[in-house]
């Protein structure tokens, strides 16, 4: 199905070519009839799913900040779209003016206003039966009396307007100067080009569709509406109808209808938008944008920095204009250029510097400015006998290495992003320049702030298009190999034989290859036959025995190779099968393409091979193909959370590539190929182990892929985005979610089968609800049940609700989960996060947890939630009775040992009494409003004591009026042991002293002071302590801490009180000290005012053998 833009061009071309007496403007009636097609389904979907919700969201902050809102609507049609806003927004509208030149629409609009759609209007709506001409001039200061509007809407009303940029610029002057925040919003069908005005945001709805009944009358009305003029003679009308039938889609489900693709666009301008100050270069002239979709767009401004200072300058300009920004690297994605958004074109920053290590090549570095292409880097490196693992095409740019970068060296050296050791980045928050990781001195800008922590570097390695403008990256270099490239092409008559061959290729050839080799496969059709192409890249100088075995198998399975070439790092670019063999080499001419990439494992299982072959059989154009790039090796050696590129566990990256002849851009073939790519991606997604983030953007069809793009790293990335790009200036890169608000309290309800976990969790949820605290229960095993049902075809509803059915599947389900974990050890973490992020409540109870020491394992994943474990116990007899005779107790019992849950309760009695008592004693206190009051007293100081540290001033609580007494009373009441049994409150200077002293006074328990070495009188016992997280930043490394001998009575219980637990090093040292003076580990309790789970303090305690120590914290904060 062609786009409306393509149809319009074709209709106009036909009209101008005809010898007929011509066309004339549409009458109001003709316009109205054409417009009606867009008010019906499926076209209405664009309003329902895009325009209305987006408008409501965009206007939300403005409406909230004003008591009265004035509106100007240009071309609203028969009723205002704002009538669909929520009531609280409609009630704010006090003034409404419209310009509606169509007299039919204008009078219908007047009728509509009789029903008082905006109840707070102070005067009757002013509806002008005329076209809009802005009454202020950009270059003249508008008179103070000039009419102003908070919101000005162009509703599909810019068609035919000359000099759209001047109209917009003048209209911007109709927004109030103060208070600021007003906006001009244009919605339009895609294809709108407003030259020279930068927008604040551009949003698109690419999936809009309009349908027309296939009758001559309807097609005539529709065609003239789209062409914008009425056809005067029958011949033109007939040829317009033919064009509609030729370009539109008539599918078998609706043979009486013709559909067209009708993508929508919404562009938002603010008062600061105005003229760009920099001319917009024609993108076609630049020829830098290779992506066909991006090529059709016009940026708001093209900014071409020559150095870092000019990037900073451009960023500052964009920030003050409040405009979004895109960055042009190699121009291969659809996101380097967005309509009306400023584009920073990096092409002038294209130097490559090679720094050869003095003694060994392995320490050599390559600094590449981000305007370089892959070819630039490889060519320069080759002069030094070096290389960097990049991609397969020389023209691809920085987007590749910032988002992953899969190539022929990936199995040997890892992804391109894995080779990044440092970067220079211009912040899109401040315009400052930062250097992160290892950047050679001579390539670090003088004013660059060196970041001490590697958080940003972590994010750049896989999601690097999201946080700032990357000016350069430093790669570690490798010796340049010589490649031996072998190609095979096999053709098949049937899918079954091809499927068997593909499975053999995977299991017998690819899986047996050493890291120095990789084997890719191409699935395509040529001359009515299915083909499988295989390319094997061998990088070692001498063929190893393992390779020889694999090669022998390859010859047996694939026959003799069609070609064999020995090439260098530049020559390898031309050996690509797509370039050299398929479809006559590169499609045999000019083509356009659209790709999405998913990661697959075990393609021989779950019938993935058959699905792939069926996918290629269903291709909508002859040129579409699937490319399987081999993974494993060094890619999977890197842990999933070590870099932002979190999808490491795959055998093949499957690039679904929709290709069509370039002259068919915007036509049926193009839209069908894009649709096919998304359809196949949708089929493969549940079977995949992740998706490649490169090229994903704000398109709603990318959302499901983007959610799987970064494996377990999504939340950390979302938080990094908030830190580095809080205004979402780079909003056109691979979308990251807004960081979820995790539940304040997460309770892991554990215990043996039949102890009453689900029962207690249900009781607690209802008790929280009674206390006006939102709460829900989720079973972590539900995630496994879903995956199990998909893989085996089991009935998911019955797995959830039918106890007998569940019992039948219990063993298989457990085996399934265990196998999954064997393949993906990080799966329990992913499941945990899936459950947490799925909850939308203050308190979440998680049941079905089988992990060892779960609070230790998971607390750093939810660093802003209080995570506790309540274990429920019941006697064996009672548990057996509750389980029923048939049921098996397969609960893991390895929770015991060096680990204790936060609380253990006994649930032997029938009824709710045990659960209710535990609720009052252990749960409700964790949600007291006084805890939030205490939290609010903790001031946050950004970039202290170093850049990128958000310091929480816990000790500052004692400086707030009432702070210390509130904190102490909470410490006193929250303690789960009994104060009467405590002989000493142990504290270490400085933080601990303040809180412990006040608490000691309150509970009447003496202090046991722990001080730095040399400060207490002998005899003392001492241990070495690593300095705390924050003190370590000032350079100290290790110190001794001491306690006086005999200060703690033998055999008594103690409580350690401290201000903070972050890395756990101080606490570990304290625990070691107490054990050294003879305190039994089971007699030690710990209470801290604030915990920073991000630093995995509990993990350290657990590893050091202190997992049994009861540790309670009043507050939790995300990383300091």
**Chain residues that interact with ligand FAD, rule: CB under 6 A:** 326-333, 335-336, 346, 370, 391-393, 396-400, 402-407, 465, 469-470, 694-695, 733
Output 211 or 539, the one with its CB closest to ligand FAD: 539
Query: How crowded is residue 180: how many other Cβ atoms within 10 Å of its Cβ?
Result: 14
Output 658 or 854, the one with its CB closest to ligand FAD: 658
Q: Which whole-number Å values give the CA distances from 1015 to 555, 989, 990, 1021, 1039, in the listed order?
A: 77, 11, 13, 12, 12
Determine the Cα–Cα distance for residues 852 and 217; give it in Å rounded to an integer: 71
Output 170 or 347, the one with its CB closest to ligand FAD: 347
Output 392 or 490, the one with its CB closest to ligand FAD: 392
* Nearest partner of 1062 among 1082, 1092, 1018, judged by Cα: 1092
Sequence-ordered list of residues with C-beta below 8 angstroms from that of 461, at least 6 positions apart, any chain: 417, 418, 420, 643, 644, 645
What minimum distance in Å lies between the beta carbon of 1073 and ligand FAD?
A: 49
Q: Which whole-number Å values give the CA distances from 641 to 374, 462, 819, 830, 867, in the listed order?
A: 26, 11, 21, 11, 21
* Nearest partner of 875 among 749, 751, 755, 753, judged by Cα: 755
What minimum distance in Å lies between the beta carbon of 458 and ligand FAD?
A: 16
What minimum distance in Å lies between the beta carbon of 902 and ligand FAD?
A: 44
Determine the Cα–Cα distance for residues 428 and 411; give it in Å rounded to an integer: 34
Query: What are the two backbone dihedrals, phi and then psi, of residue 681, each rounded to the nearest 5 degrees?
Result: -60, -40
Q: Which stretches within 481-593 are classed as H helix?
A: 495-504, 545-558, 577-580
Output 223 or 694, the one with its CB closest to ligand FAD: 694
Output 471 or 867, the one with its CB closest to ligand FAD: 471
* Nearest partner of 557 among 607, 509, 497, judged by Cα: 509
User: How big is the CA angle at 669 (ends 664 and 674), to the nearest 5 degrees?
Assistant: 110
What minimum distance in Å lies between the beta carbon of 361 and ligand FAD?
A: 24
What minimum distance in Å lies between the beta carbon of 732 and ligand FAD?
A: 6
Query: What are the two backbone dihedrals, phi and then psi, of residue 10, each rounded to the nearest 5 degrees?
Result: -65, -40
What minimum distance in Å lies between the beta carbon of 724 and ligand FAD?
A: 11
What minimum distance in Å lies between the beta carbon of 335 and ligand FAD?
A: 4
Q: Which whole-number Å values give the CA distances from 113 to 116, 126, 596, in the listed order?
A: 5, 10, 47
Output 335 or 952, the one with its CB closest to ligand FAD: 335
Output 409 or 844, the one with its CB closest to ligand FAD: 409
Determine the Cα–Cα distance for residues 860 and 864; give it in Å rounded to an integer: 9
Output 416 or 836, the one with its CB closest to ligand FAD: 416
Residues 689, 650 contacting (CB under 8 angstroms): yes
Residues 1102, 859 contacting (CB under 8 angstroms): no
What minimum distance in Å lies between the beta carbon of 329 and ligand FAD?
A: 3
What minimum distance in Å lies between the beta carbon of 116 and ligand FAD?
A: 47
Sequence-ordered list of residues with C-beta below 8 angstroms from that of 459, at least 6 positions apart, any chain: 466, 467, 644, 717, 720, 724
User: How big is the CA angle at 1051 (ends 1069 and 1019), to the nearest 5 degrees?
Assistant: 55
Looking up tokens 């494992």 gives: 601
Torsion angle defined by CA atoms of residues 939, 944, 947 and 949, in that order, rounded to the nearest 10 degrees: -50
What minimum distance in Å lies between the beta carbon of 216 and ligand FAD?
A: 43
What minimum distance in Å lies between the beta carbon of 691 and ligand FAD?
A: 13
What minimum distance in Å lies between the beta carbon of 320 and ligand FAD?
A: 20
What minimum distance in Å lies between the beta carbon of 624 and ligand FAD?
A: 15
Output 76 or 404, the one with its CB closest to ligand FAD: 404
Output 530 or 572, the one with its CB closest to ligand FAD: 572
Determine the Cα–Cα distance for residues 324 and 198; give it in Å rounded to an integer: 8
In whole angstroms, what separates CA 664 from the centre of its chain?
Answer: 32
Torsion angle defined by CA atoms of residues 567, 568, 569 and 575, in that order, rounded to the nearest 10 degrees: -10
What minimum distance in Å lies between the beta carbon of 595 and ligand FAD?
A: 6
Determine the Cα–Cα distance for residues 1120 and 1115; give it in Å rounded to an integer: 13
* Nearest partner of 1030 among 452, 211, 574, judged by Cα: 452
Output 403 or 474, the one with its CB closest to ligand FAD: 403
Output 392 or 1055, the one with its CB closest to ligand FAD: 392
Output 157 or 731, the one with its CB closest to ligand FAD: 731
What minimum distance in Å lies between the beta carbon of 2 and ligand FAD?
A: 23
Output 205 or 732, the one with its CB closest to ligand FAD: 732
Torsion angle defined by CA atoms of residues 244, 249, 250 and 256, in that order, rounded to the nearest 10 degrees: -50
Output 182 or 329, the one with its CB closest to ligand FAD: 329
The secondary element (H helix, E strand) that includes residue 184 is strand 183-189
* Nearest partner of 77 among 34, 124, 45, 114, judged by Cα: 34
What minimum distance in Å lies between the beta carbon of 332 and ligand FAD?
A: 3
Output 469 or 489, the one with its CB closest to ligand FAD: 469
Report DSSP state, residue 132: -
What minimum distance in Å lies between the beta carbon of 426 and ligand FAD?
A: 9
Output 52 or 634, the one with its CB closest to ligand FAD: 634
Sequence-ordered list of residues with C-beta below 8 angstroms from that of 502, at least 6 positions apart, any chain: 521, 523, 532, 603, 609, 612, 613
Tokens linked to 122? 């102070």
Determine the Cα–Cα distance for residues 600 and 854; give it in Å rounded to an integer: 29
What minimum distance in Å lies between the beta carbon of 461 and ligand FAD?
A: 13
Report DSSP state, residue 969: H
């Amino acid at each position: 199905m062609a786009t409306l833009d393509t149809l319009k061009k074709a209709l106009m071309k036909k009209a101008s070519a005809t010898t007929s007496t011509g066309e004339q403007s549409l009458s109001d009636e003709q316009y109205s009839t054409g417009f009606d097609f867009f008010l019906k389904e499926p076209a209405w979907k664009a309003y329902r799913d895009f325009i209305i919700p987006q408008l409501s969201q965009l206007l939300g902050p403005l409406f909230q900040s004003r008591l009265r809102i004035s509106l100007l609507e240009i071309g609203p049609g028969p009723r205002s779209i704002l009538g669909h806003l929520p009531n609280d927004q409609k009630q704010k509208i006090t003034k409404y003016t419209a310009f509606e030149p169509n007299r039919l629409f204008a009078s219908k609009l007047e009728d509509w206003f009789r029903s008082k759609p905006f109840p707070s209007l102070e005067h009757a709506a002013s509806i002008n039966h005329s076209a809009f001409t802005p009454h202020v001039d950009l270059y003249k200061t508008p008179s103070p009396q000039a009419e102003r509007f908070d919101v000005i809407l162009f509703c599909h009303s810019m068609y035919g307007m000359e000099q759209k940029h001047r109209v917009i610029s003048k209209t911007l002057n109709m927004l109030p100067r103060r208070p600021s925040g007003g906006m001009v919003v244009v919605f339009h069908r895609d294809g709108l080009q407003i030259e020279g005005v930068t927008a604040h945001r551009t949003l698109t709805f690419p999936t809009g569709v309009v349908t027309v009944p296939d009758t001559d009358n309807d097609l005539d009305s529709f065609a003239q509406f789209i062409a914008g003029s009425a056809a005067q003679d029958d011949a033109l009308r007939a040829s317009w109808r033919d064009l509609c039938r030729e370009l539109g889609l008539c599918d078998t489900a609706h043979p009486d209808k013709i559909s067209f693709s009708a993508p929508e666009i919404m562009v938002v301008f603010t008062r600061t938008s105005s003229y760009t100050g920099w001319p917009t270069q024609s993108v076609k002239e630049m020829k830098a944008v290779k992506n066909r979709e991006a090529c059709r767009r016009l940026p708001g401004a093209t900014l071409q920095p020559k150095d870092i200072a000019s990037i900073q300058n451009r960023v500052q300009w964009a920030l003050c204009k409040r405009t979004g920004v895109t960055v042009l690297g190699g121009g291969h994605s659809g996101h380097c250029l967005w309509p009306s958004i400023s584009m920073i074109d990096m092409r002038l920053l294209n130097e490559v510097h090679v720094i050869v290590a003095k003694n060994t090549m392995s320490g050599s570095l390559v600094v590449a400015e981000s305007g370089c292409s892959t070819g630039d880097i490889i060519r320069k490196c080759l002069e030094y006998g070096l290389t960097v693992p990049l991609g397969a095409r020389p023209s691809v740019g920085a987007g590749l290495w910032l988002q992953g970068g899969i190539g022929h060296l990936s199995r040997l050296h890892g992804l391109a992003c894995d080779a990044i050791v440092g970067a220079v980045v211009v912040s899109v928050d401040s315009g400052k320049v930062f250097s992160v990781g290892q950047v050679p001195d001579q390539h670090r800008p003088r004013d660059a702030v060196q970041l001490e922590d590697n958080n940003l570097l972590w994010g750049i390695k896989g999601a690097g298009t999201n946080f700032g403008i990357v000016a350069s990256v430093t790669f570690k270099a490798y010796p340049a190999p010589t490649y031996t490239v072998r190609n095979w092409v096999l053709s098949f008559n049937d899918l079954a034989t091809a499927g068997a061959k593909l499975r053999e290729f995977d299991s017998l050839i690819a899986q047996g290859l050493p890291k120095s080799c990789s084997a890719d496969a191409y699935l395509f059709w040529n001359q009515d036959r299915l083909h499988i192409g295989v390319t094997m890249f061998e990088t070692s100088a001498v063929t190893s025995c393992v390779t020889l075995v694999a090669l022998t198998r390859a010859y047996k399975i694939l026959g003799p190779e069609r070609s064999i070439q020995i090439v260098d790092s530049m020559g390898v670019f031309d050996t690509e099968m797509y370039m050299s063999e398929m479809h006559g080499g590169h499609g045999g001419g000019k083509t356009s393409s659209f790709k999405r990439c998913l990661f697959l494992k075990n393609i021989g299982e779950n019938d993935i091979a058959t699905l792939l072959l069926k996918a290629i059989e269903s291709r909508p154009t002859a040129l579409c193909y699937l490319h399987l790039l081999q993974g494993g090796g060094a890619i999977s050696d890197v842990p999933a959370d070590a870099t932002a590129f979190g999808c490491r566990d795959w055998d093949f990256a499957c690039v679904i590539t929709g290709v069509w002849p370039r002259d068919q851009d915007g036509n049926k073939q193009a839209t069908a190929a894009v649709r096919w790519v998304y359809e196949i991606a949708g089929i493969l997604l549940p079977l995949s182990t992740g998706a490649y983030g490169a090229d994903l953007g704000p398109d709603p069809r990318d959302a499901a892929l983007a959610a799987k793009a970064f494996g377990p790293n999504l939340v950390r990335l979302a938080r990094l985005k908030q830190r580095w790009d809080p205004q979402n200036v780079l909003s056109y890169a691979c979308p990251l979610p807004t960081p979820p608000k995790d539940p304040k309290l997460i309770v892991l309800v554990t215990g043996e089968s039949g102890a009453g976990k689900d029962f207690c969790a249900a009781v607690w949820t209802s008790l929280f609800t009674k206390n006006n605290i939102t709460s829900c229960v989720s079973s972590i095993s539900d995630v496994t049940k879903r995956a199990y049902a998909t893989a085996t075809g089991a009935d998911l509803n019955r797995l959830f609700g039918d106890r007998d059915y569940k019992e039948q599947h219990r063993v298989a389900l457990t085996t399934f989960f265990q196998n999954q974990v064997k393949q993906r050890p990080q799966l329990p973490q992913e499941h945990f996060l899936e459950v947490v992020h799925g909850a939308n409540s203050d308190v979440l109870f998680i049941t079905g947890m089988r992990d060892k020491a779960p609070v230790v394992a998971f607390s750093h994943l939810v660093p802003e939630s209080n995570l506790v474990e309540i274990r429920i116990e019941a006697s064996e007899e009672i548990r057996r009775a509750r389980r029923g005779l048939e049921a098996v107790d397969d609960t893991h019992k390895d929770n015991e040992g060096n680990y204790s849950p936060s609380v253990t309760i006994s649930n032997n009695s029938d009824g709710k009494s045990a659960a209710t008592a535990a609720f009052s004693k252990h749960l409700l206190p964790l949600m007291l409003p006084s805890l939030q009051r205490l939290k609010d007293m903790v001031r946050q100081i950004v970039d202290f004591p170093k850049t990128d540290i958000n310091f929480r001033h816990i000790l500052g609580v004692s400086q707030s009026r009432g702070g210390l007494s509130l904190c102490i009373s909470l410490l006193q009441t929250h303690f789960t042991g009994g104060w009467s049994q405590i002989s000493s409150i142990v504290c270490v200077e400085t933080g601990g002293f303040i809180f412990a002293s006040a608490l000691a006074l309150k509970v009447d328990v003496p202090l046991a002071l722990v001080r730095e070495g040399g400060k207490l009188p002998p005899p003392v016992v001492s241990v070495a302590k690593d300095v705390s997280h924050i003190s370590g930043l000032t350079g100290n490394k290790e110190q001794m801490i001491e306690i006086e001998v005999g200060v703690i009575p033998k055999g008594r219980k103690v409580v350690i009180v401290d201000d903070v637990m972050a890395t756990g090093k101080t606490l570990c040292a304290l625990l070691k000290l107490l054990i050294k003076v003879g305190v039994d580990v089971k007699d030690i309790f710990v209470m801290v005012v604030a915990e920073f789970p991000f630093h995995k303090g509990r993990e350290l305690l657990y590893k050091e053998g202190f997992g049994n120590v009861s540790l309670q914290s009043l507050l939790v904060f995300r990383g300091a």
